[in-house]
Amino acid sequence: MLRRANNRSWIFKDLILTVVIMLPVMAYADNQKSILDQTSDNVQNEKCFARDGMSESRDYVSSSFQWENDSFLGQTDHWYTNGMKYTRTFNPDCNKGKLDDYMKSNFGDAKSVVLSSWSIGQNMYTPTNITNPDFQERDRPWTGWLYFGRDFRIFDIKELPTSGGKSYRAADNRKLEMQVGRLGEWAMQDRVQRGWHELMKAPYPAGWKNQNPGKAGIVLHFRNERELFNLDCISSSINLKARVGGMVGNVVDQFYAGMSLTFTLNPFVMDDATFLPISSFGGAKQITPTNVMNAVNTESTLNNSQENNAVNTMASGRNDNLARLRKILDEYDESTKLKVARERWYAHHATYVFLDVETRYVRYNTFLVGTLATWKPWVGDLKVGVAYKIPHCDATVRLSKVYRSPETSVLGVDSNIQRVTQASIEWDWGWIENPRLKQAAAK
Distance CA 77, CA 70 (A): 6
Distance between CA atoms of 75 and 70, rounded to whole angstroms? 8
What pLDDT score was predicted for residue 254?
Answer: 96
More confident residue, 108 or 225: 225
Question: Mean pLDDT highest for which of 2-6, 76-80, 109-113?
Answer: 109-113
pLDDT on residue 280: 81
CATH code at 2-442: 2.40.128.140
What's the rounded mean pLDDT across residues 173-200? 91
pLDDT at 438: 72
- Res 57: pLDDT: 53
Using CA atoms in the order 210, 215, 63, 100, what is the torsion angle rounded to 10 degrees?
-160
Question: What's the mean pLDDT in 290-309?
Answer: 35
Per-residue pLDDT tens digits for 122-160: 999 999 898 999 999 999 999 999 999 999 999 988 887
pLDDT in the model for residue 336: 74
Query: Which one, of 244, 272, 205, 188, lies nearest residue 20 by Cα?
Result: 188
What is the predicted pLDDT for the residue at 439?
64
pLDDT digits (tens, 9 = 90+) for 268-298: 877 777 788 888 886 444 433 333 333 333 3
For residues 160-170, average pLDDT: 75
> Cα(369)–Cα(8) distance, rounded to whole angstroms?
30
High-pLDDT (> 70) share of the chain, %: 70
Helix (H), strand (E) counts: the chain: 8, 19
Tens of pLDDT, residues 29-88: 223 333 323 333 344 445 555 566 555 556 778 899 999 887 766 666 677 888 999 999
pLDDT number for residue 41: 37
Q: Residue 110: which pLDDT band, with cuts at 50, 70 and 90?
A: confident
Return d(Cα 443, Cα 432) in angstroms, integer.
20
Question: Over 70: is that where the pLDDT of 432 sits?
Answer: yes
Question: Residue type at 8?
Answer: R
Q: Does the predicted TM-score (pTM) go above 0.85?
A: no
Mean residue pLDDT of the chain comes to 76
Q: Between β-strands 378-389 and 373-375, what pairing exists: parallel, antiparallel or unpaired?
A: unpaired
Instruction: Assess contact for 439 and 415: CB atoms under 8 A.
Output: no
Of the two residues 45 and 96, the one the predictor is more confident about is 96
What does the pLDDT read at residue 243? 96
DSSP state of 203: P
pLDDT value at residue 137: 92
- For the range 256-261, what are the long-range contacts, defined as Cβ-Cβ under 8 Å and sequence gap of 24 or more? 256/358, 256/359, 256/360, 256/361, 257/358, 257/359, 258/356, 258/357, 258/358, 258/359, 258/381, 259/228, 259/356, 259/357, 260/288, 260/289, 260/290, 260/354, 260/355, 260/356, 260/357, 261/354, 261/355, 261/356
Give the largest Cα separation in the chain, rounded. 86
pLDDT at site 39: 33
By percentage, how much of the chain surpasses pLDDT 90?
A: 38
397: Cα separation from own chain's centroid: 13
Q: How far is the CA of 1 from the CAs of 14, 189, 190, 222, 323, in angstroms? A: 19, 21, 18, 48, 78
Eight-class DSSP state of 142: P
**Mean pLDDT confidence for 427-432:** 84
Q: Which residue has the higher pLDDT, 389 or 78?
A: 389
